[in-house]
Amino acid sequence: MRLWLPLFIVVAWLLMAVLGPWLPLLPDHIELSRILLPPGEMAWLGYDDLGRPLADRVIVGARFSFFVSLLVVSVSVVLGTFIGAVSAYVGGRLDHIVVRIIDIFLAFPGILLAIALAGLLGPGLSNVVIALSIVGWVGFARLARAQVLTLKSREHVQAAVVLGAGRSRIIIRHLLPLIAAPLIIESTFAIAGIVIAEAGLSFLGLGIQPPTPSWGSMIRDGTRYMLVSPHMVLVPGIALMLVVLAVNMLGDHLRDWMDVKIK
């Protein structure tokens, strides 16, 4: 698959998320005469079991998946990078404690931990963001820590120490710019993972609640009509697959372009 195709898919996802509120969409409009109507001339993507247009609901679901993934990744990058960089540069007992906390989080599968946290916090959009952020910062913290450990003994960092620069200045001015590239690459793959995790939580009823559409909840609702109306599962499922595949492919291209080797 060439680069233009995944880029087109991601741009379309972005446009649906940003322009969705200004489009004449009716995701909750019920037309009883069109219940389970398959895709065709009457509707691009068909209708669901309540007679609601799947095209409108997919676009609204794209908006929530985009902003949830963007918010979760932003929080995870900031929190994880701060914890990992400070831990690696300060070292000592602080680094030992942070490493043990990271090991505890990594001992549990991320999606299972997110499900447990979402179950404790309760369903809802804000709780999904909190649960996924609590799980997501660990990967960035481990990456930032590993990068800072290899860079803090470099000559320019030692020169800054000799010149009397403080720890915060060294981390912000001399270390963070050097670890930005691998963190950006990690962020692209994290976005794809968050999209799947949000859909999974919504599928289980722990994410965005009805009648607000989410790709995960749309797939869940469609499983009851798989034999008679498979489009109810295929439409949101294909949308989810295309977005995740496109984001991962862009991440691969970005990694190759930056030529960053993450060990």
d(CA 112, CA 200) in angstroms, rounded, equals 10
Structural domain of 112:
4-20+50-258
116 class by beta-carbon count within 10 Å (0-12 exposed, 13-18 middle, 19+ buried): middle
Confidence class for position 259, pLDDT limits 50, 70, 90: low
Whether 130 is covered by a domain: the verdict is: yes
Is residue 217 one of the residues assigned to a domain?
yes
Q: Specify the pTM.
A: 0.88
Q: Is residue 71 part of a domain?
A: yes
Average predicted confidence (pLDDT) for the chain: 87
One-letter amino acid for residue 240 of the chain:
L
Residue 181 belongs to some domain of the structure: yes
For 16-31, the pLDDT digits (tens) are 888 888 888 888 888 8
- In this structure, what CATH number is given to the domain that contains residue 206? 1.10.3720.10
